Amino acid sequence: MAKEALLKFFLNYFPISAEEKALIEPRFELKFINKKGKILQAGDTCKVYTFVVSGCFRMYGVDDKGFEHNIQFAAENDWIADIASFYTGKPSSLNIEAIESSEVLQISQTDLYFLFEEIYKLNRIFKVTIEQKYIELQNRVLQNFSSTAEQRYLDFLEQYRILSNRLPNTQIASYLGITPEFLSKIRRNLAEKG
C-alpha cells in the first residue's frame, strides 16, 4: 500500500516500467512514526529523504531564547528533508517532527543517487520538487517583510489548504511568526468580513 502511494506519485510525472519499479521499491524503507516522534534532530545529519504516505510533519528551528519557528509542513504525497544537510553531509540546525502519527518511506542518499543513475527520469522529479520548495521558501521570505500577518495567513491557507484544519493554532502561528492569540484575532476579523 505505502509503496503504491510512492509509485502513484512518480506516475504523475512519467510512466514506470516493471524493471524501474523493481529498482525503486527495495530502495525505500517503510517506517511508522508516532506523534511527536522525530525523523531529524538538530545536530544530526539528515541521512534520508522522506516521502509522507500518511500523517503530517513540521520542520522547525529553535532560536537562542528557546522559541520554535516552523519553516515547512509536509503531509500526504509530499517530501521532507533538510536538503542542505542531506546533500552536504553537515549537521542540521533543524528538527523534523511528526504532528500526527505517520507512515513514511525513506531513502538514503546512496540509494537515491543509484536511482538517479539508473532511472534518469527520477533525477528530474527531485529537481522539480526541490525547485518548488525553493520557490515556496523565496515567497515566504518576501512575505515576511512585505505582507501583513493577515495576508501571510491567507497565503498559508492557499499553500496548505488540506492542513489548515489538521494543524494546531500554535503550529500555524509559529509558521506565520505571530502569537496564537493574534492568529485567533485574524480569524475573527476574516469571519466578520465574510
Q: What is d(CA 169, CA 174) in angstroms, rounded to the nearest whole number?
A: 8
- Between 59 and 123, whose confidence is greater? 59
Closest C-alpha among 123, 130, 121 to residue 80: 130
Cβ–Cβ contacts within 10 Å for residue 97, how many? 20
CB-based contacts of 107, cutoff 8 Å, min separation 6:
27, 28, 29, 48, 49, 51, 115
The amino acid occupying position 94 is L
Instruction: Read off the pLDDT band of 103 (50, 70, 90).
Output: very high
Residues 79/129, Cβ–Cβ less than 8 Å: yes
Decide: helix, strand or coil at residue 38: strand
The pLDDT, as a whole number, for residue 22 is: 95
Distance of CA 176 to the CA centre of its chain: 16
Q: What is d(CA 150, CA 170) in angstroms, rounded to the nearest whole number?
A: 16
pLDDT digits (tens, 9 = 90+) for 109-139: 999 999 999 998 998 888 888 888 888 888 8
Instruction: Read off the pLDDT band of 85 (50, 70, 90).
Output: very high
Residue spans of the domains in the chain: they are 2-119
The pLDDT, as a whole number, for residue 130 is: 85
Range among 43-52, 66-75, 154-163 with highest mean pLDDT value = 43-52
The pLDDT, as a whole number, for residue 73 is: 93
The CATH homologous superfamily for domain 2-119 is: Jelly Rolls (2.60.120.10)
Question: 69: which strand partners?
Answer: 61
Instruction: Read off the pLDDT band of 100 (50, 70, 90).
Output: very high
The pLDDT, as a whole number, for residue 164 is: 85
Q: What's the pTM?
A: 0.90
- Strand 38-40 and strand 29-33: the pairing is unpaired
Residues 62/42, Cβ–Cβ less than 8 Å: yes
The pLDDT, as a whole number, for residue 163 is: 87
